[in-house]
Amino acid sequence: MPGLTLIGPVANTPKVPAPTELEQVSESQGVFVAGDARDMALWSGHDLGARWLCRAQGPAVELLRDWPTPNQETWRYHASRDAALQMYETLKAHLMTRFPGVQTYDGRDVVPLNVPEGRAERFFQNGDTEVMRLFVDRMSDL
């Protein structure tokens, strides 16, 4: 079709395998999505539209069970950069309170960002033990 192109596979696994070997081979190939490639930049998972992700990773995420976020969340997609940054600052402030003396370093060297407005930091305790990585980035990929 004019204007449409295959933009990527969607993983699938049949719950009940097909009865014939030929059909089973077809099932193992996946499903391809046809769409306008110009819309690809707006795709971000099951919802269309780019979103901002705030995410914390590392041992501190598991060690602390009192994150001051709804349902103890340490990652969430947000519609706006401001909302993602608010969560970022909340998680960072909580970590700094619970891990006194933690050192903060720029984390863009190990957390590649999609946009220049993104942020990434690494947090170290005792100078050599990384306890957490925290980032905010615009996500428009599969």
Distance, in Å, from the CA atom of 124 to the CA atom of 88, rounded to the nearest integer, reads 17
CA dihedral 116, 121, 122, 124 (to 10 degrees): 150
pLDDT, tens digit (0-9, with 9 covering 90-100), for 107-139 = 999 988 888 889 999 999 988 899 999 999 988
pTM assigned to the model: 0.65
Q: Write down the pLDDT at residue 92.
A: 96
Type of residue at 118: G
The span from the CA of 93 to the CA of 87, in Å, is 10
pLDDT of residue 20: 79
Confidence (pLDDT) at 48: 47
CA angle, corner 74, sides to 73 and 80, nearest 5? 90
Neighbouring C-alpha atoms within 13 Å toward the C-beta of 11: 3
Average pLDDT over residues 6-11: 54
CA Rg value for the chain: 20
**Range 9-18 average pLDDT:** 62
pLDDT digits (tens, 9 = 90+) for 29-80: 655 555 565 655 555 454 445 689 999 999 999 999 899 998 899 999 888 8
- Contact of 122 with 104, CB cutoff 8 Å: yes
